[in-house]
Amino acid sequence: MTSRSAAPPWWRNRRYLPWLVQGVVALAVGVVVAFLLSNLLLNLTARGLLLSWSWLGQPAGFDLAESILPFDASLPYWRALLAGLVNTLRVVIAGLVGATVLGTLIGTASFSSNGLLRGLARVYVEVIRNIPLLLQLIFWYFVVFLALPNGTDAIQLPGLVLAKSGLFLGDPQLVNGVWQAPLRFSVEFGALLTGLVVYTAAFNAEVVRGGIASVPKGQWEAASSLGFAPLVTLRRIVLPQALRVIVPGLNSQYISLAKNSSLAVACGFTDLYSVSETTLNQTGRAVEVMLILLGSYLVIDLVISALMNGLNGLVQLKER
Amino acid sequence: MPPRFTFAIPLIAALALVGCAGDGGGIQSQKMAAIKGRGILNCGVDGRLPGFSFVGADGRYSGLDVDICKATAAALLGDPAKVTYRDLSSTERFAALGSGEVDLLSRNTTMTLSRDAPGGNALAFAPTTFFDGQAVLVPVSSGIKSLKDVAGKPICVETGTATELNLADRMRVLNAAYTPLKFQSGDQTYAAYLQGRCVAVTSDRSQLAAKRTGFPKPSEHILLADVLSKEPLNPATINADPAWADAVRWVVYSLIQAEEMGITAANIDAKLVEAKANKNLAQLRRFLGVEGDLGKQLGLPADFVVKTVKAVGNYGEVFERNVGQGSPLKLERGVNQQWLKGGLMYSPPFL
Amino acid sequence: MAPAPPATLRPGPWQWLRRELFGSRLDGLISIALLGFLLAAALGLAKWAIFQAQWTVISANSTLFAVGRYPLEQQWRLWLLTTLLALATGLSWGLLRALPRSGSSGPPPILWPRNDRWAAAILVLLALWRPLALQLTLAIQLRWWAITALLLLARWAAGRWGQALPPLVRRLIPLIWPLLYLVGMVLISGGLGLVQVAPSDWGGLLLTLLMATFAILLCFPLGVLLALGRRSTLPLLRWGSLLYIEFIRGAPLITLLFLGQNILGFLLPGGLAPDRVWRAAWVLTFFAAAYVAEAVRSGLAAVPAGQLEAARSLGLSMPFALIHVVLPQAMRVALPATVGQFITLLQDTTLLSLIGLLDLLGTARTVMANPAFLGRNAEVYLVLAVLFWCCCAALGLGSRALETRLNPNLAPSR
């Protein structure tokens, strides 16, 4: 190596230094990853569990409590996982809508002229945010939903029956002690959805409150001096401006809702995670199943992020 | 060229490490060496199933499955207390055993072909510690008389179990639609059943009987006569370490053999004195390790049988204390009786 | 004489009620409906709590809920730790009150401001009521009373004579907390002549708090490093951090915990993997670090780029400029979000029950599997909810107090 006398030594050279730092980090990460992967291969080979995907085509052998897609035990594993994924998507989409509506209501309630309503909105947020979601889910399922009456005692309204076995819509009939109806939601679905909506709404309410608070007070005053009613002011003038702050904040709440739906195992709902656990147990394919699981949630997150970014582009102030 | 040089380092290092990771293996049991090295046996149990493995209010584990862990620890480490129990759900038990998280799985696990086979879960099963069968528990008031009556109604079942598959098989044979409500743990399954979410709960007969004793009104629930399947419950280890599997297998046999020979925790010392004094009692002397090297062949101490029996008693004592007449479960011995008395408990000779 | 307080402008309680609850006809209707609903809910809850609930499930298992299966003969160590914690809390609390805020020259501090009197009263009430409610033995009741008395005594002493302490001692006092953490770890796990208590024997509230504090303490520096990496100009660091953060934030915690518990064994040579309790703690740490990184990043974004440039042009080295110039400003902005993450982390410890660890929720599930307490779901979950609520709310309150303490220092420079 030929070093010129005036130049600093190569490890202090500003041109090489960044590369040196990165090289060291890459080296450390690379060594660790190589080490872990080699062990994984070694251990999997020793146990005869080298990565393979052929099991996905074998019959699952277990049934699912609920599935929109037709499913029975003779269908292959991938159909079971797909049914689980669809169930997850169902609860996530319903949860997003519910949490947005409830969150907006509570968030705007903290600007009500009624002190009691304002106080209650505050109490709701403070109570719900500080209690773990898992605890709330278990509570909703075992304490609230499973306390519903059953059979003939079920809560019956025209075209609607709420029983321990679920919510039945559209002319429910009691056949052989079991309610039957064209449209049915199980209590497991109900408990998970309620838990997710109630919990996420508390966070959404804070986002909405922050968004509305970011709108200058003058906007309210100007609107009321023009003779707008408070609710119209909120809907037509304040919320559209607040959305610019609200939408980015909601993004991360939506993603946590999607991920939190994996806590369905705590209340017996057959979501993707629950089906994966069963599959993993029947096949012993731990690594493959975990890869499928992580990949699926990553895709769901990316889709939500992309949609929210698109929405964000729509609500942001268009400047010429 | 320095930058190029810095890039070469990770490659070399990675290759070297991959090479290092490839060593190991050997003739002796890695698992037994590892357990002896750490001085503690990691034992996977259910932890929430009275009679089999359960944490009492004093924070101690007890039960039939737990006694197998204790006997194994006594045989290998000389102390039945040298066990770390790990509560495993039915879904994580095989992954935990496979990844070496636990050394021994003693968690009311049914032996099946796919769990045993190298192409399946690749487990190595020890002898059956409890012969069971899958049954269905229903409330008397439901009027359900057989499995057929359950058609179209929800059944609670613990997920990841052989029970789940048997149920699916049987209902398919009956051509009956049903709703399997699956829960991750036993306590949730029974809580949902008791709250009336399902009209029936299915599991091993012994487990249902055990849980029923704890129900507020046990007489209001009956077991249907249908037997859905055979459920032999066995401790399990992994296929990859045959020496360790052998040791566990003969620890279990030692308890069964001890009962056959009338050796109990109370009289084991007397029997040992007797065996040492009388050279003609060859069978007893071999069994208790006074002569021969049976223990050594397994990689266990010569007197491992003395240690296991001292730790938990013979199989009959283990049964009666945990699930039999000495327990709240009050199960009959039934097929779990010794072969001489018409049961299935049969130990191969200690020769 | 001091000018008259503007009391006349403040409405009386009745006027206030009228304005707030019955401002318009609609408001009145809403208020009446809400009041009716609240009254019915409160009555229902009271009826249930007094007549239907059976609270023996809590009192009979109070030890299990508190410390899990921690060996009985070693529990004196936990009592000692609680005593030390009470002392340290009392001292810090007293000193916070005794010492004037830096920069402000107000009147000399009052020994017992109103908030503190409230806090002390609540502490005394809790100490009197809790041991009785749990039907603890007299010996344990006495211990709780002694510990509470010690806390208040330390608070009083520190408040009374705190100002007289030499500055050096005052500056050293905050160091008792990290020291106490180390001492606590030794006391809990053993070593240094104490009998080892394996992590698998820790449980209940002890395990929950231990996991949460461990993860909170470690995820913070990790998160800061990740945030710096994410904003670094070095592409490899930036992409690496980005990849890590996005991967972790895209995965549900329960799958990561499952990975840590059951797949990590495949990745490491046999026996090298740490104990499963610690493994769960590390998973929690790495998980939370990604979220803390995002919080800190938003704080970093709020610091004008000129700050770093100015510091660098003054000749400060990069690490020095980051630690002493950029990060303190970024943290003031990032504080609420970061503490919010800590609160989430504390709540996330309940997921440990899903992988078979006996944290507070796991212990509760074990207790409810006990035939003697079957069906006592509501009681147990309610108590757990209250416990978690108190812990999380305390963290939130602390964060807000810290914010207001930091802000006045910030204000003059603006």
Question: Is the Cβ of C378 closer than 8 Å to some Cβ of chain B?
Answer: no
Which residues in chain A touch residue B21, judged by CB atoms under 8 angstroms apart? 35, 38-39, 42
Most B CBs within 10 A among A47, A137, A152, hence the mutation to make, goes to A47
Helix (H/G/I), strand (E/B), else coil: A159: coil
Q: CA-CA distances (angstroms) from residue B289 to B306, C93, C337?
A: 8, 66, 67
CA distance A98 to chain B (A): 25
> Sorting pLDDT into bands at 50, 70 and 90, what band is A2?
very low
pLDDT > 70? residue C102:
no
Q: How confident is the model at residue B25 (pLDDT cuts 50, 70, 90)?
A: very low
d(CA C348, CA C212): 9
Quote the radius of gyration of chain C (alpha carbons, Å).
25
- End-to-end CA distance of chain A: give it in Å, rounded: 58
- Alpha-carbon distance of C3 to B338, in angstroms, equals 97
pTM: 0.80
> What share of chain A in percent tops pLDDT 90?
28
Residues in chain B, overall count: 351
Q: Distance between CA atoms of A177 and A174, rounded to whole angstroms?
A: 6
- Give the pLDDT confidence of B279-317 residue by residue, as tens digits: 889 999 999 999 888 998 999 999 999 999 999 999 999
- A149 vs B: CB within 8 A: no
What is the bridge-based pairing of β-strands B41-45 and B221-223?
unpaired
Expressed in percent and rounded to 5, the helix, strand and coil fractions of chain C are: 80, 0, 20
Question: Which token pair is B164?
Answer: 């789940």
Q: Which residues of B touch C372 (CB under 8 A)?
A: 214
Number of A to C CB contacts under 8 A, please give it: 136
Q: With bands split at pLDDT 50, 70 and 90, how would you rate the model's confidence at A307?
A: very high
- The architecture that CATH gives domain C201-414 is Orthogonal Bundle (1.10)
Count other C-beta atoms under 10 Å from residue B269's C-beta.
11
CB contacts of C236 in chain A (<8 Å) are: 22, 25-26
User: How far apart are the C-alpha atoms of A273 and A287, rounded to whole Å?
Assistant: 14
Q: Average pLDDT over chain C, rounded to whole?
A: 80
Mean pLDDT of A62-82: 86
Whether the per-residue pLDDT at C103 is higher than 60: the answer is: no
- Poorest-confidence range of A4-13, A209-218, B255-264? A4-13
Q: Quote the percentage of chain B above a pLDDT of 90.
A: 41
Q: Which two tokens stand for residue C5?
A: 């307080």
Best residue of A19, A36, A281 to probe chain B, by most B CBs closer than 10 Å: A281
Q: Please give the radius of gyration of chain A, using alpha carbons only, rounded to the nearest integer.
A: 27
Q: Can you read off the two tokens belonging to residue C297?
A: 């990043």
Which of A26, A127, A297 lies at the smallest CB-CB distance from C250? A297
Distances (CA, A) of B21 to A35, A41, C5: 7, 10, 78
Q: Let me know: does A111 contact A277? Beta carbons within 8 Å.
A: no
User: How many angstroms separate the Cα of C307 from the Cα of each of B125, C31, C316, C407?
Assistant: 67, 52, 12, 19
Nearest residue in chain C measured CA to CA from A23: C236
Pick from C198, C359, C185, C356: which is nearest to C274 by CA? Answer: C198
For C356, the closest of B60, B89, B187 (CB atoms) is B89
Q: How many CB atoms lie within 10 A of CB A266?
A: 31
Query: What does the block give as tokens for C146?
Result: 């002694």
Could you say which of B98, B185, B216 has the minimum Cβ distance to residue C374?
Answer: B216
CA distance A284 to B139: 35
Q: Write the Ramachandran bin of C191: left for phi over 0, alpha for psi from -120 to 50, otherwise beta.
A: left
In chain C, the percentage of residues whose pLDDT exceeds 90 is 9
Q: CB distance C365–B187 less than 8 Å?
A: yes
Q: How confident is the model at residue B263 (pLDDT cuts 50, 70, 90)?
A: very high
Q: B 311-350 residues with CB below 8 A of A?
A: none
pLDDT of residue B4: 38
Q: What is residue C14's three-state secondary structure?
A: helix
Q: Would you say C336 and C325 are in contact if contact means Cβ atoms under 8 Å apart?
A: no
Both structure tokens of A248: 């980015």
Task: Compute the C-alpha angle A160/A161/A167, nearest 5°.
Answer: 95
CA distance C57 to C59: 6
Cα–Cα distance between B103 and B31 in angstroms, integer? 7
Q: What is the pLDDT of residue C299?
A: 85
Q: At what angle do helices A187-213 and A115-129 cross, to 10 degrees?
A: 120
Return mean pLDDT, chain B.
85
3-state secondary structure of A3: coil
CA distance C65 to chain B (A): 11
H or E element at residue B8: helix B2-21
Q: What is the mean pLDDT of residues C300-311?
A: 84
C276-302 and C235-250 helices cross at what angle (nearest 10)?
Answer: 120
Q: B344 vs B90, which has greater pLDDT?
A: B344
- For chain B, report the end-to-end CA distance as a whole number of angstroms: 70
Q: Which residues of C touch B37 (CB under 8 A)?
A: 271
Q: Which residues of C, range 24-43, sit inside 8 Å of B by Cβ?
A: none
Burial degree of C318 (CB within 10 A; 0-12, 13-18, 19+): exposed
Backbone torsions φ then ψ of C132, nearest 5 degrees: -70, -40
Q: Report d(CA B175, CA B258) in Å as an integer.
A: 47
**Contact residues for C84 (Cβ-Cβ < 8 A; gap 6+):** C180, C183, C184
Q: Is A293 on the interface with B (CB under 8 A)?
A: no
Among B197, B201, B244, pick the best mutation site for testing chain A contact (most A Cβ within 10 A): B197
Q: Which residue has the higher pLDDT, C306 or B234?
A: B234
Among all chains, which residue has been given the structure tokens 């609520």?
Answer: C389
- The 8-class DSSP code of residue C69 comes to T
Is the Cβ of B39 closer than 8 Å to some Cβ of chain C? Answer: no
Chain-centre distance for alpha carbon B153: 32
> What is the largest distance, in Å, between two alpha-carbon atoms of chain C?
80
List pLDDT tens digits, range C201-230: 788 888 998 899 899 989 999 999 999 888
Q: Helix, strand or coil for residue B61? A: strand
Q: What is the chain A residue with the closest CA to C269? A: A39
Say what the pLDDT of residue B19 is: 37
Contact A178 B153 (CB under 8 A): yes
pLDDT band at C108 (very low <50, low <70, confident <90, very high): low
Asked whether the beta carbons of residue A23 and residue B183 sit closer than 8 angstroms, the reply is no
Q: What percent of chain C has pLDDT over 70?
A: 90
Question: Sorting pLDDT into bands at 50, 70 and 90, what band is C16?
Answer: confident
The CA distance from C36 to C23, in Å, is 18
pLDDT in tens, A83-112: 999 999 999 999 999 999 999 999 988 888
pLDDT-derived band at A132, boundaries 50, 70, 90? very high
Residue C313: how many other CB atoms lie within 10 Å: 10
Chains touching chain C, criterion 3+ CB pairs below 8 Å: A, B
Q: Is A173's Cβ below 8 Å from some Cβ in B? A: no
Closest among C362, A278, A62 to B183, alpha carbons compared: A278
| B179, two tokens | 């709703």
**Which candidate from A25, A129, A266 shows the least CB-CB separation from C237?**
A25
| Cβ burial C324-337 (10 Å sphere, 16+ → b, else e) | ebbbebbbbbbbbb
By mean pLDDT, which of A133-147, B42-56, C181-195, C388-402 is the weakest? C181-195
pLDDT value of position C164: 74
Smallest Cα distance from C111 to chain A, Å: 31
| Tens digits of residue pLDDT in B190-203 | 888 888 888 899 98
**A275, A83 Cβ separation under 8 angstroms:** yes
CA-CA distance, A271 to B247, in Å (whole number)?
41
Neighboring chain A residues of C15 at a CB cutoff of 8 Å: none
3-state secondary structure of B333: coil
pLDDT band at B268 (very low <50, low <70, confident <90, very high): very high
pLDDT of B15 reads 39
- Domain assignments of chain C as residue spans, ordered by start: 66-197, 201-414
Confidence category of residue A262, pLDDT binned at 50, 70, 90:
very high
Q: Which residues of C touch B57 (CB under 8 A)?
A: 60-61, 64, 370
Of B14, B99, B181, which is closest to A268 when you measure between CB atoms?
B181
Cβ C298 vs Cβ C224: under 8 Å: no
Collapsed DSSP state (helix, strand, coil) of residue A171: coil
Q: Terminal CA-to-CA distance of chain C, rounded, Å?
A: 34
**Residues β-bridged to residue B104:** B43
Which pLDDT value is given to residue A100? 94
Question: What is d(CA A295, CA B265) in angstroms, rounded to the nearest whole number?
Answer: 55
pLDDT at res. B1: 34
Mutate to test the interface with A, among C255, C388, C392 (most CBs of A within 10 A): C255
What is the C-alpha to C-alpha distance for residues B81 and B79, in angstroms, rounded to an integer? 5
Q: CB–CB of B165 and A31 under 8 A?
A: no
Tokens of A138: 């278990």
Residues on chain A touching B184 (C-beta within 8 angstroms): 265-266, 274, 277
Task: Give chain A positions within 8 Å (CB) of B92.
Answer: 277, 281
Nearest CB to B21: which of A35, A277, A282?
A35
* Residue contact A73–B95, C-beta within 8 A: no
- Alpha carbon distance A244, A235 (integer Å): 14
Report CA Rg, chain B. 23
Angle at which helix C327-348 crosses helix C377-410, to 10 degrees, equals: 180
In this prediction, residue C260 carries a pLDDT of 84
CB-nearest partner of C34 from A117, A286, A294: A117
Cβ distance B57 to C64 less than 8 Å, yes or no, reads yes
pLDDT tens by residue, C244-289 = 998 888 889 999 998 888 777 777 765 566 777 888 899 999 999 9
Whether B88 contacts chain C with CB within 8 A: yes
CB pairs under 8 A between A and B: 144
Tell me: pLDDT of C8 over 60.
no
Q: Left if phi > 0, otherwise alpha if psi is -120 to 50, otherwise beta: which for C190?
A: left
**Residue that is written with structure tokens 């939601």 in the block:** A185
Cβ atoms of C163 and C96 closer than 8 Å: no
Closest Cα to residue A21, out of C224, B14, C318?
Answer: C318
Query: What confidence score (pLDDT) does residue A320 get?
Result: 52
Lowest mean pLDDT: which of A246-260, C35-49, C90-104, C295-309? C90-104
Please tell me the predicted confidence (pLDDT) of residue B330: 80
Residue A169 in contact with residue A67, Cβ under 8 Å? no
**C109 within 8 A of C100, measured Cβ to Cβ:** yes
- Say if the Cβ atoms of A38 and B183 lie within 8 Å: no
This complex has an ipTM of: 0.84
Interface probe, candidates B7, B31, B55, B197, chain C, greatest C C-beta count within 10 A: B55
Which residue of B87, B91, B207 to mutate against C (max C Cβ within 10 Å)? Answer: B87
Q: What residues form DSSP beta bridges with B202?
A: B136
Inter-chain contact B6–A19, Cβ cutoff 8 Å? yes
User: What six digits make up the tokens of B19?
Assistant: 């090479």
